[in-house]
Chains A and B, each alone.
Chain A
Amino acid sequence: RAAQGRAYGNLGNTHYLLGSFMEATAFHKERLAIAKEFGDKAAERRAYSNLGNAHIFLGRFDVAAEYYKKTLQLSRQLKDQAVEAQACYSLGNTYTLLQDYERAAEYHLRHLLIAQELADRVGEGRACWSLGNAYVSMGSPAQALTFAKKHLEISQEIGDRN
């Protein structure tokens, strides 16, 4: 049964990489059920991330957000800050797709704080870029400028000419 869970996960990933998102979703749901059966929180967390990602490409941003929230919740339980940061970043982007810029900014800010804590300059730069965009959309150009400047500073530091 445990091997079956891993096989479902691998099949889900393979369909995802082939761009078959419906099939990927079906396999990841099976994987999720087995992870729950075993109380395997790490596998459950992975399944939620994979399900969130697949729903982005199915255009179901609302469903993706719910899966990413489950990922976030479990990453905190598992005390995995890198995954927590990634979940916040995914949620920020998902709420941008849902055009809920305030909530997007909330998650991008949470991502920024964790990236700073982890001294992840690349992550910090991405968070600043996203926050600049969110504040522009919210009609707050002064705050957007602060983050755009920070984004420039970090990009120069890490040599990201793009």
Chain B
Amino acid sequence: GQRLHLMQVDSVQRWMEDLKLMTECE
């Protein structure tokens, strides 16, 4: 279970890293 959870977090974490700098500019 733990391993699956870590795999899951991997792709989402990558997305969140990108998201941190993602703003829709005016």
Contact = CB atoms under 8 A, between A and B. Distances in A.
Interface in A90-126: 90, 93, 96-97, 126
B8 to A, nearest CB: 5
Contact of A89 (B8, B15, B23): B15
Given A16-B23, A50-B23, A50-B24, A137 B12 contact: no
Chain A interface residue count: which class? Answer: 20 to 34
Interface residues of B, number: 16
B5 to A, nearest CB: 9
A137 B6 CA distance: 11
B25 A53 contact: no
Given A17-B21, A53-B19, A10 B26 contact: yes
Given A46-B24, A56-B19, A136 B12 contact: no
A43 B4 CA distance: 39
Contacts of A137: 4, 8
B11 interface: yes
B12 A17 contact: no
B12 A13 contact: no
B11 A130 contact: yes
B24 A96 contact: no
Given A96-B12, A133-B10, 6 more contacts: A16-B23, A93-B12, A97-B12, A133-B11, A136-B7, A137-B8
19 contacts: A6-B26, A9-B26, A10-B26, A17-B23, A46-B24, A46-B25, A53-B22, A56-B19, A90-B15, A93-B11, A93-B12, A93-B16, A96-B12, A126-B11, A126-B15, A129-B11, A133-B7, A133-B10, A137-B4
